[in-house]
């Protein structure tokens, strides 16, 4: 891999969900924080990364989401954003796979972001990218620690500190739920390897969905250790799943 390729060349933003707990017909990523749809908070951190392409995966309320982003894009002519539709909500693995046709199979890195985790900092993304490059790894999970990790997937490490797997809350035992290090849902993959492995994901879980987190097992099975970047600043990764969380985040701004 040349030095030039050791950067984020492509970004996928998962923004297809309705967000049933928001108790609203508005698409989840269009709920406003400080008067601005949360997806725009996220998009504003991206121009400096200079990715070649950004694909936003839309689903519920897709016309509204596309319109909001396209109106915003008028002021960012250098950003190359395209949209793809996840027809059915079959999980995060399926959402990423649905973007494949719009992406290039290059040797750079691909960043996966969540439309409802809008406050990740550019500096955090850059530090994580430095780590995956330094370790010459094919995949990286961003994690953080929470005093109350309820609702999040827990990080399991093996003896040498590499991530062995992520267990979703719904599939976790009482003992596993005590782990405080959580998956933020933000990942970096070396492009070629991602498309090679993603089709191996199965749906043997409580939700019968294709979990992107199952890729960790697949990388490990192929003797490709999974890197991690543990962020001390858990506020950057606050997911917004309810009106209460929306208010909480707004207060913290």
Using only the alpha carbons of the chain, give its radius of gyration. Answer: 17
Active-site residue, 238 included: no
- Give the separation between CA 169 and CA 52, rounded to whole angstroms: 35
Q: Which tokens sit at 215?
A: 């890729």
Using alpha carbons only, what angle is made at residue 43 by residues 154 and 117, rounded to the nearest 5 degrees?
Answer: 20
Residue linked to tokens 């060349």? 9
Element spanning 213, H or E = none
Looking at 21, 157, 165, 238, which residue is catalytic? 21
Element spanning 73, H or E = helix 62-73
- Give the separation between CA 186 and CA 114, rounded to whole angstroms: 7
Residue linked to tokens 């973007």? 99
Indicate the Cα dihedral angle 124, 214, 181, 169, nearest 10°.
130
Residues that are catalytic = 21
């Amino acid at each position: 891999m040349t030095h030039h390729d050791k950067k984020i060349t492509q970004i996928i933003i998962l923004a297809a969900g309705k967000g049933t707990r928001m108790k609203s017909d508005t698409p989840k990523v269009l709920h406003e924080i400080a008067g601005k749809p949360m997806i725009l908070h996220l998009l504003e951190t991206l121009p400096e990364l200079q990715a070649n392409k950004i694909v936003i995966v839309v689903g519920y309320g897709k016309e509204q989401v596309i319109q909001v982003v396209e109106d915003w894009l008028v002021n960012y002519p250098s950003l190359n954003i395209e949209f793809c539709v996840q027809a059915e909500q079959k999980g995060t693995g399926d959402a990423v796979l649905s973007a494949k046709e719009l992406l290039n199979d290059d040797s750079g890195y691909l960043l996966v972001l969540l439309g409802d985790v809008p406050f990740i900092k550019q500096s955090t993304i850059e530090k994580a990218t430095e780590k995956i490059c330094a370790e010459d790894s094919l995949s990286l999970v961003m994690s953080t620690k929470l005093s109350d990790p309820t609702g999040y997937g827990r990080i399991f490490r093996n003896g040498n500190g590499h991530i062995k797997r992520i267990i979703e809350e719904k599939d976790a035992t009482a003992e596993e739920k005590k782990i405080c290090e959580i998956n933020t849902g933000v990942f970096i993959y070396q492009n070629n390897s991602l498309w090679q492995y993603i089709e191996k994901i199965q749906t043997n879980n409580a939700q019968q969905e294709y979990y992107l987190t199952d890729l960790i097992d697949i990388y490990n099975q192929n003797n490709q250790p999974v890197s991690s970047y543990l962020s001390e600043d858990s506020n950057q990764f606050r997911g917004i799943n309810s009106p209460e969380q929306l208010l909480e985040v707004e207060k913290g701004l």
